[in-house]
Amino acid sequence: RKEVEQDPGPFNVPEGATVAFNCTYSNSASQSFFWYRQDCRKEPKLLMSVYSSGNEDGRFTAQLNRASQYISLLIRDSKLSDSATYLCVVPSYNTDKLIFGTGTRLQVFP
Amino acid sequence: DADVTQTPRNRITKTGKRIMLECSQTKGHDRMYWYRQDPGLGLRLIYYSFDVKDINKGEISDGYSVSRQAQAKFSLSLESAIPNQTALYFCATTQITNYGYTFGSGTRLTVV
Protein backbone atom coordinates (compact mmCIF):
# COMPACT_ATOMS: atom_id res chain seq x y z
CA ARG A 1 0.00 0.00 0.00
CA LYS A 2 1.30 3.44 -0.90
CA GLU A 3 1.83 5.82 1.98
CA VAL A 4 -0.68 8.28 0.54
CA GLU A 5 -3.08 7.59 -2.33
CA GLN A 6 -5.46 9.92 -4.11
CA ASP A 7 -7.71 9.70 -7.13
CA PRO A 8 -5.94 11.89 -9.72
CA GLY A 9 -9.20 13.03 -11.30
CA PRO A 10 -9.84 15.34 -13.00
CA PHE A 11 -13.10 16.21 -11.35
CA ASN A 12 -15.05 18.52 -13.64
CA VAL A 13 -17.91 20.21 -11.81
CA PRO A 14 -20.18 23.21 -12.50
CA GLU A 15 -20.10 26.32 -10.37
CA GLY A 16 -22.17 25.87 -7.23
CA ALA A 17 -21.69 22.11 -7.05
CA THR A 18 -20.48 20.17 -4.06
CA VAL A 19 -17.46 17.96 -4.64
CA ALA A 20 -15.57 15.56 -2.41
CA PHE A 21 -12.11 14.03 -2.65
CA ASN A 22 -10.87 11.06 -0.70
CA CYS A 23 -7.35 10.14 0.31
CA THR A 24 -6.12 6.94 1.94
CA TYR A 25 -2.97 6.68 4.04
CA SER A 26 -0.95 3.81 5.47
CA ASN A 27 0.50 5.30 8.67
CA SER A 28 -2.10 4.33 11.27
CA ALA A 29 -0.17 6.24 13.97
CA SER A 30 -0.33 9.60 12.20
CA GLN A 31 -1.69 12.42 14.37
CA SER A 32 -1.90 15.15 11.77
CA PHE A 33 -3.12 15.45 8.21
CA PHE A 34 -3.13 18.22 5.69
CA TRP A 35 -4.77 19.34 2.50
CA TYR A 36 -2.68 21.62 0.31
CA ARG A 37 -3.87 23.48 -2.76
CA GLN A 38 -1.57 23.85 -5.74
CA ASP A 39 -2.23 26.05 -8.75
CA CYS A 40 -0.53 25.20 -12.04
CA ARG A 41 3.26 25.69 -11.75
CA LYS A 42 2.92 27.36 -8.36
CA GLU A 43 3.97 26.26 -4.91
CA PRO A 44 1.60 24.20 -2.75
CA LYS A 45 -0.22 26.25 -0.13
CA LEU A 46 -1.71 24.93 3.05
CA LEU A 47 -5.49 24.77 2.81
CA MET A 48 -6.46 22.86 5.94
CA SER A 49 -4.89 20.98 8.82
CA VAL A 50 -6.69 18.10 10.51
CA TYR A 51 -5.66 16.98 13.99
CA SER A 52 -8.79 15.25 15.26
CA SER A 53 -11.95 14.03 13.57
CA GLY A 54 -12.22 16.93 11.18
CA ASN A 55 -12.04 20.61 10.45
CA GLU A 56 -14.26 23.15 8.75
CA ASP A 57 -13.33 26.49 7.19
CA GLY A 58 -16.08 28.24 5.27
CA ARG A 59 -16.98 26.16 2.24
CA PHE A 60 -14.27 23.60 2.97
CA THR A 61 -14.65 20.62 5.31
CA ALA A 62 -12.03 17.98 5.99
CA GLN A 63 -13.04 14.77 7.72
CA LEU A 64 -10.89 12.02 9.14
CA ASN A 65 -11.83 8.36 9.41
CA ARG A 66 -9.10 6.69 11.45
CA ALA A 67 -10.67 3.22 11.37
CA SER A 68 -10.59 3.14 7.58
CA GLN A 69 -7.49 5.35 7.31
CA TYR A 70 -8.84 7.94 4.96
CA ILE A 71 -9.40 11.65 4.97
CA SER A 72 -11.78 13.55 2.77
CA LEU A 73 -12.07 17.10 1.55
CA LEU A 74 -15.52 18.48 0.81
CA ILE A 75 -15.95 21.70 -1.13
CA ARG A 76 -19.41 23.25 -1.13
CA ASP A 77 -20.71 25.88 -3.55
CA SER A 78 -17.73 25.48 -5.87
CA LYS A 79 -16.24 28.63 -7.39
CA LEU A 80 -14.27 29.00 -10.59
CA SER A 81 -11.34 30.02 -8.41
CA ASP A 82 -11.38 26.61 -6.70
CA SER A 83 -9.94 25.06 -9.87
CA ALA A 84 -6.58 23.65 -8.78
CA THR A 85 -4.88 20.46 -7.70
CA TYR A 86 -5.51 19.35 -4.12
CA LEU A 87 -2.73 17.47 -2.37
CA CYS A 88 -3.33 15.10 0.52
CA VAL A 89 -0.38 15.14 2.93
CA VAL A 90 0.54 12.93 5.87
CA PRO A 91 3.66 12.88 8.08
CA SER A 92 6.07 9.98 7.66
CA TYR A 93 6.23 7.23 10.29
CA ASN A 94 8.99 8.97 12.22
CA THR A 95 7.48 12.44 11.56
CA ASP A 96 10.70 13.80 10.13
CA LYS A 97 9.05 14.69 6.81
CA LEU A 98 5.72 14.99 5.02
CA ILE A 99 4.52 12.52 2.40
CA PHE A 100 2.54 14.02 -0.46
CA GLY A 101 -0.12 12.36 -2.52
CA THR A 102 0.07 12.91 -6.25
CA GLY A 103 -2.91 15.22 -6.11
CA THR A 104 -6.51 15.41 -7.28
CA ARG A 105 -7.23 17.88 -10.02
CA LEU A 106 -10.43 19.92 -9.82
CA GLN A 107 -11.82 21.94 -12.70
CA VAL A 108 -14.87 24.12 -12.01
CA PHE A 109 -16.69 25.33 -15.11
CA PRO A 110 -19.28 28.12 -15.53
CA ASP B 1 9.33 39.83 1.16
CA ALA B 2 8.47 36.14 0.95
CA ASP B 3 9.09 33.96 4.00
CA VAL B 4 10.86 31.36 1.85
CA THR B 5 12.79 32.61 -1.16
CA GLN B 6 14.16 30.48 -3.95
CA THR B 7 16.62 31.60 -6.60
CA PRO B 8 16.68 31.45 -9.53
CA ARG B 9 12.99 31.25 -10.48
CA ASN B 10 13.78 29.79 -13.87
CA ARG B 11 16.97 28.31 -15.29
CA ILE B 12 17.97 26.62 -18.51
CA THR B 13 21.28 24.82 -18.41
CA LYS B 14 23.22 22.39 -20.56
CA THR B 15 23.89 18.75 -19.90
CA GLY B 16 27.01 18.29 -17.79
CA LYS B 17 26.97 21.72 -16.20
CA ARG B 18 27.03 22.25 -12.48
CA ILE B 19 24.16 24.27 -11.12
CA MET B 20 23.14 25.48 -7.68
CA LEU B 21 19.63 26.29 -6.51
CA GLU B 22 19.36 28.42 -3.43
CA CYS B 23 16.79 28.69 -0.68
CA SER B 24 16.64 31.16 2.17
CA GLN B 25 13.99 31.63 4.84
CA THR B 26 13.07 34.28 7.37
CA LYS B 27 10.75 32.12 9.48
CA GLY B 28 13.44 30.94 11.87
CA HIS B 29 12.61 27.31 11.13
CA ASP B 30 15.15 24.59 11.84
CA ARG B 31 13.90 22.06 9.29
CA MET B 32 14.46 22.61 5.57
CA TYR B 33 13.64 20.37 2.63
CA TRP B 34 14.24 20.08 -1.10
CA TYR B 35 11.59 18.42 -3.29
CA ARG B 36 11.23 17.98 -6.99
CA GLN B 37 7.93 17.75 -8.79
CA ASP B 38 7.30 15.98 -12.08
CA PRO B 39 3.92 15.63 -13.79
CA GLY B 40 2.09 12.56 -12.52
CA LEU B 41 4.72 11.77 -9.88
CA GLY B 42 3.92 14.32 -7.25
CA LEU B 43 6.46 15.81 -4.88
CA ARG B 44 9.50 13.64 -4.18
CA LEU B 45 11.99 14.37 -1.43
CA ILE B 46 15.62 14.90 -2.44
CA TYR B 47 17.35 15.99 0.78
CA TYR B 48 16.43 17.48 4.11
CA SER B 49 18.18 19.07 7.07
CA PHE B 50 17.23 19.67 10.70
CA ASP B 51 20.27 21.76 11.58
CA VAL B 52 23.41 23.26 10.10
CA LYS B 53 25.30 20.04 10.85
CA ASP B 54 22.51 17.70 9.86
CA ILE B 55 21.96 16.43 6.29
CA ASN B 56 19.67 13.56 5.35
CA LYS B 57 19.01 11.84 2.04
CA GLY B 58 15.52 11.63 0.69
CA GLU B 59 14.08 9.11 -1.75
CA ILE B 60 15.82 10.50 -4.85
CA SER B 61 19.17 11.95 -3.73
CA ASP B 62 21.35 10.43 -6.48
CA GLY B 63 22.84 13.12 -8.68
CA TYR B 64 22.21 15.87 -6.12
CA SER B 65 24.08 17.34 -3.16
CA VAL B 66 23.14 19.95 -0.58
CA SER B 67 24.74 22.44 1.75
CA ARG B 68 23.19 23.96 4.86
CA GLN B 69 25.29 27.09 5.18
CA ALA B 70 23.28 28.59 8.01
CA GLN B 71 19.97 28.00 9.73
CA ALA B 72 18.31 30.20 7.12
CA LYS B 73 20.03 28.87 3.99
CA PHE B 74 19.85 25.51 2.26
CA SER B 75 21.32 25.03 -1.23
CA LEU B 76 20.79 22.22 -3.71
CA SER B 77 23.46 21.39 -6.28
CA LEU B 78 23.37 19.33 -9.42
CA GLU B 79 27.01 18.36 -9.95
CA SER B 80 26.57 17.35 -13.58
CA ALA B 81 23.09 18.12 -14.83
CA ILE B 82 21.26 15.63 -17.04
CA PRO B 83 18.01 16.07 -18.98
CA ASN B 84 15.91 13.87 -16.66
CA GLN B 85 16.61 16.39 -13.89
CA THR B 86 14.35 18.80 -15.73
CA ALA B 87 11.63 19.50 -13.17
CA LEU B 88 10.09 22.00 -10.81
CA TYR B 89 12.10 22.22 -7.58
CA PHE B 90 10.64 23.37 -4.28
CA CYS B 91 12.24 24.29 -1.01
CA ALA B 92 10.11 23.94 2.13
CA THR B 93 10.58 24.76 5.79
CA THR B 94 8.96 23.95 9.09
CA GLN B 95 9.73 24.04 12.79
CA ILE B 96 7.61 20.99 13.57
CA THR B 97 6.60 18.56 10.83
CA ASN B 98 3.16 18.06 12.35
CA TYR B 99 2.42 21.75 11.69
CA GLY B 100 2.97 21.46 7.95
CA TYR B 101 5.41 23.17 5.61
CA THR B 102 5.84 26.60 4.11
CA PHE B 103 7.03 26.39 0.51
CA GLY B 104 9.15 28.67 -1.63
CA SER B 105 7.85 29.74 -5.03
CA GLY B 106 9.84 27.08 -6.83
CA THR B 107 12.61 26.92 -9.40
CA ARG B 108 11.79 25.69 -12.87
CA LEU B 109 14.91 23.95 -14.16
CA THR B 110 15.37 22.79 -17.73
CA VAL B 111 18.41 20.73 -18.72
CA VAL B 112 19.02 20.62 -22.47
Confidence of residue B97 (pLDDT cuts 50, 70, 90): confident
Q: Do A102 and B40 touch (CB under 8 A)?
A: yes
> Does B99 or A37 have the greater pLDDT score?
A37
Chain B residues in contact with A87 by the CB 8 A cut-off are 42-43
Please give the pLDDT value at position B42: 86
**Touching check for B108 and chain A: CB below 8 Å?**
yes
Confidence of residue B37 (pLDDT cuts 50, 70, 90): very high
Please give the pLDDT value at position B39: 83
pLDDT surpasses 80 at B1: no
**Touching check for A88 and chain B: CB below 8 Å?**
no
Environment class of A86 (CB within 10 Å of its CB; exposed 0-12, middle 13-18, buried 19+): buried
What are the Cα distances from residue B89, in Å, to A24, A43, B22, B38, B44?
A: 26, 9, 10, 9, 10
Chain A residues in contact with B108 by the CB 8 A cut-off are 41
Q: CA of A45 to nearest chain B CA: how many angstroms apart? A: 7
pLDDT surpasses 90 at B90: yes
**Touching check for B60 and chain A: CB below 8 Å?**
no
Q: Do B98 and A96 touch (CB under 8 A)?
A: no
* Residue of B35, B98, B108 with shortest CB distance to A95: B98
**Touching check for B33 and chain A: CB below 8 Å?**
yes
Environment class of A94 (CB within 10 Å of its CB; exposed 0-12, middle 13-18, buried 19+): exposed
Confidence of residue B98 (pLDDT cuts 50, 70, 90): confident
Q: Which of A:38-67 have CB within 8 Å of B?
A: 41-46, 49
Q: What dihedral angle (degrees, nearest 10) is formed by the CA atoms of A47, A49, A52, A55?
A: -30
Please give the pLDDT value at position B25: 97
Residues of chain A by 3-state class (helix, strand, coil), percent to 5: 5, 55, 45
Please give the pLDDT value at position B57: 96
* Residue of B33, B35, B97 with shortest CB distance to A95: B97
> Does B48 or A52 have the greater pLDDT score?
B48
Please list the rounded mean pLDDT of every run of 10 residues in chain A (110 residues).
88 97 91 94 93 90 92 97 96 88 96
**In the predicted model, what is the mean pLDDT of chain B?**
95
Q: Which of B33, B37, B46 is the best residue to mutate to test the A interface, defined by the most A CB atoms within 10 Å of its own CB?
A: B37
Please give the pLDDT value at position B40: 79
Q: CA of A100 to nearest chain B CA: how many angstroms apart? A: 6
**Touching check for B90 and chain A: CB below 8 Å?**
yes
**Touching check for A103 and chain B: CB below 8 Å?**
yes
pLDDT surpasses 80 at B2: no
